[in-house]
């Protein structure tokens, strides 16, 4: 029984560490997506950036406080500049696209309705 408890605790610790480590890059994607959403001249690019904001905002942990989020936003804003903002946005958008494709691949194929038989004229 103790071995099971130790294994479970180790699994939980490993999972928690992985989720925490991902937060800074997710917050960086929020920052860069927000910038692109406000500055994009192309409507399609603006929609992609807006969708990315919500995608990455949804990945922020439920236990994070507003002060913690603000601190992370401030820290990640400092990491972005003219040279790395574009590649960062591309990386963030590619991750969103990968999840969309994953969802589309998991969804069952749409069922096409049977073609309606034409009704005879005059009836």
Residue 90 lies in a domain: yes
**pLDDT for residue 60:** 87
Judged against a pLDDT cut of 50, whether residue 10 lies above it is answered with no
In a domain, 88, yes or no: yes
Residues of the chain with pLDDT > 90: what percent? 54
Query: pLDDT category, 4, cuts 50, 70, 90?
Result: very low
Percent of the chain with pLDDT over 70: 76
Does any domain span residue 104? Answer: no
Structure confidence at residue 99 as a pLDDT band (50, 70, 90): very high
Mean predicted confidence (pLDDT) in 67-88 = 94
Q: What is the pLDDT of residues 30-68, one digit of tens each?
A: 999 999 999 999 999 999 999 999 999 999 888 888 999
- With respect to residue 58, please indicate whether it lies within any of the assigned structural domains: yes
How many domains does the chain contain in total?
1
Q: Within a domain: residue 13? A: no
Is it the case that residue 5 has pLDDT exceeding 80?
no
Measured distance CA(76)–CA(43) in Å, rounded: 26
- Does residue 110 fall inside a structural domain? no
**Binning pLDDT at 50, 70 and 90, where does residue 22 land?**
low
Q: What is the pTM of this model?
A: 0.68
Q: Which domain, by its residues, includes 49?
A: 21-97
Burial class (CB in 10 A: 0-12, 13-18, 19+), 80: middle
Residue 102 lies in a domain: no
**Is 120 among the domain residues?**
no
């Amino acid at each position: 029984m103790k071995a099971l408890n130790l294994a479970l605790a180790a699994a939980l610790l490993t999972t928690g560490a992985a989720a925490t480590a991902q937060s800074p890059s997710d917050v960086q994607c929020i920052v860069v997506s927000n910038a692109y959403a406000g500055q994009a001249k192309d409507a399609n690019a603006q929609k992609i950036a807006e969708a990315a904001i919500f995608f990455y905002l949804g990945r922020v942990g439920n236990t994070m406080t507003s002060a913690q989020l603000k601190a992370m936003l401030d820290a990640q804003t400092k990491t972005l500049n003219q040279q790395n903002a574009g590649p960062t946005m591309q990386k963030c958008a590619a991750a969103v696209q990968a999840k969309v494709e994953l969802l589309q691949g998991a969804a069952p194929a749409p069922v096409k309705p049977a073609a309606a038989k034409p009704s005879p004229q005059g009836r």
